[in-house]
């Protein structure tokens, strides 16, 4: 599920449960996900209080009261759900596990956080990830600042940092197609395949266009680069407001669905009519560096 808006939606769902709470225990139900879990991770988490839950790009960071940080990534198929700690069955919200009908857990439930909070009912936060491209690493306080997964990340597309002026020096001279540049987490951190396609369509820019053509000879941004920056911010903000996009069976932490997928202009709309006012083009799917790009050849130049 996870581009930035989906991760931010997860953060907002988990924060009320996690922040200020104590991790009574953590169950690791396999050796690791994309990477092996940090050695001794479950034991080092037990008894810790979560100070805050934040997000950087597509990463979730749970800061603990000893200064260490649980760094989490959802990969392609990771999701969290919150369950009452009282009931024994983790499958309550996901019935139909035919393979292990007596199991307490659903298939691909890999990590369970047991959370206690004064004055409130105990709860559990369950991480499920069929493809296991996600990961969790426990990072000591003194290693977070220059952690290799975080230190190379580019600017966030939220807030007011992202502008044509900020992008111009990063885009200047680049020959790569815009699609590749926008997916590069070292430039802008948090964009993924869906929102790159959407932002390029919003700005009327071809995904195949060479990046450097959006910067003027004197190094200043063109009007089209200003527009692209604005479209990126808008599409990300709107998607966060909508609770992200729920493709396939992905759900929010409370089991509900995001609904931004209903607002897609191009993503997964191959062969359908372009939604731009006055444009009669049809959305096409092409492949760029192995990934689907959806665009309107008529109005994206």
Cite the active site residues: 2-3, 58, 291
Q: Does 164 bind DNA (CB under 7 A)?
A: no
- Could you tell me the smallest distance in angstroms from the CB atom of residue 207 to DNA? 11
Do the Cβ atoms of 200 and 182 come closer than 8 Å?
A: yes
Q: Does 73 bind DNA (CB under 7 A)?
A: yes
Considering Cα of 152, then 175, then 200, then 213, what sign does the dihedral take? positive
Site map 212..241 versus DNA, x via CB under 7 A: ------------------------------
- Could you tell me the smallest distance in angstroms from the CB atom of residue 188 to DNA? 11
32: tokens are 């690791």
> At how many degrees (to 10) do helices 193-203 and 223-241 cross?
130
Out of 16, 155, 288, 297, the residue judged to bind DNA by CB under 7 A: 288
Q: Does 30 bind DNA (CB under 7 A)?
A: no
CA dist., res. 153 & res. 185, Å (int): 6
Q: Does 58 bind DNA (CB under 7 A)?
A: yes
Closer Cβ to DNA, 43 or 212, answer by number: 212
Identify the three-state secondary structure at position 189.
Answer: coil
Alpha helical stretches, state H, the chain: 4-18, 41-45, 141-144, 148-151, 164-171, 178-183, 193-203, 223-241
CA dist., res. 166 & res. 161, Å (int): 7
Q: Does 263 bind DNA (CB under 7 A)?
A: no
Considering only residues 98 to 157 of the shown chain, the ones binding DNA according to CB under 7 A are 107-108, 130-133, 149
CA dist., res. 194 & res. 48, Å (int): 37
Q: Does 12 bind DNA (CB under 7 A)?
A: no
Half-sphere exposure of 2 (CA within 13 A, CB side): 26
Considering only residues 176 to 195 of the shown chain, the ones binding DNA according to CB under 7 A are 176-177, 180, 185, 192-194
Q: Does 248 bind DNA (CB under 7 A)?
A: yes
| Binding region for DNA (CB under 7 A) | 1-3, 6, 34, 57-58, 73, 75-77, 107-108, 130-133, 149, 173-177, 180, 185, 192-194, 210, 244-250, 258, 287-292
């Amino acid at each position: 599920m996870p581009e930035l808006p989906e991760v931010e939606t997860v953060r907002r769902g988990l924060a009320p449960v996690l922040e200020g709470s104590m991790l009574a225990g953590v169950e690791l139900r396999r050796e690791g996900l994309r990477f092996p879990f940090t050695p001794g991770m479950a034991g080092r988490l037990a008894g810790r209080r979560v100070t805050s839950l934040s997000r950087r790009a597509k990463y979730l960071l749970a800061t603990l009261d000893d200064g260490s940080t649980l760094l989490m990534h959802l990969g392609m198929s990771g999701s969290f759900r919150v369950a009452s700690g009282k009931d024994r069955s983790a499958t309550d919200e996901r019935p139909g596990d035919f393979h292990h009908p007596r199991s307490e857990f659903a298939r691909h439930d890999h990590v369970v956080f047991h959370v206690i909070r004064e004055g409130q009912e105990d709860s559990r936060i369950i991480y499920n990830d069929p493809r296991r491209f996600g990961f969790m690493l426990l990072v000591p306080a003194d290693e977070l600042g220059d952690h290799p997964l975080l230190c190379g990340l580019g600017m966030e597309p939220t807030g007011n940092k992202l502008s044509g002026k900020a992008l111009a020096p990063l885009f200047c001279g680049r020959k790569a197609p815009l699609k590749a540049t926008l997916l590069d987490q070292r430039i802008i951190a948090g964009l993924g395949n869906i929102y790159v396609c959407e932002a390029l369509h919003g700005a009327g820019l071809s995904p195949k266009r060479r990046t450097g053509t959006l910067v003027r000879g004197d190094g200043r941004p063109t009007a089209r680069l200003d527009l692209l920056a604005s479209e990126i911010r808008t599409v990300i903000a709107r998607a966060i407001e909508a609770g992200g996009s729920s493709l396939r069976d992905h759900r929010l932490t409370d089991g509900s669905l995001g609904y931004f997928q209903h607002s897609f202009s191009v993503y997964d709309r191959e062969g359908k009519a372009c939604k731009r006012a006055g444009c009669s083009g049809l959305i096409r799917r092409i492949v760029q560096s192995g990934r689907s790009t959806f665009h309107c050849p008529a109005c994206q130049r």
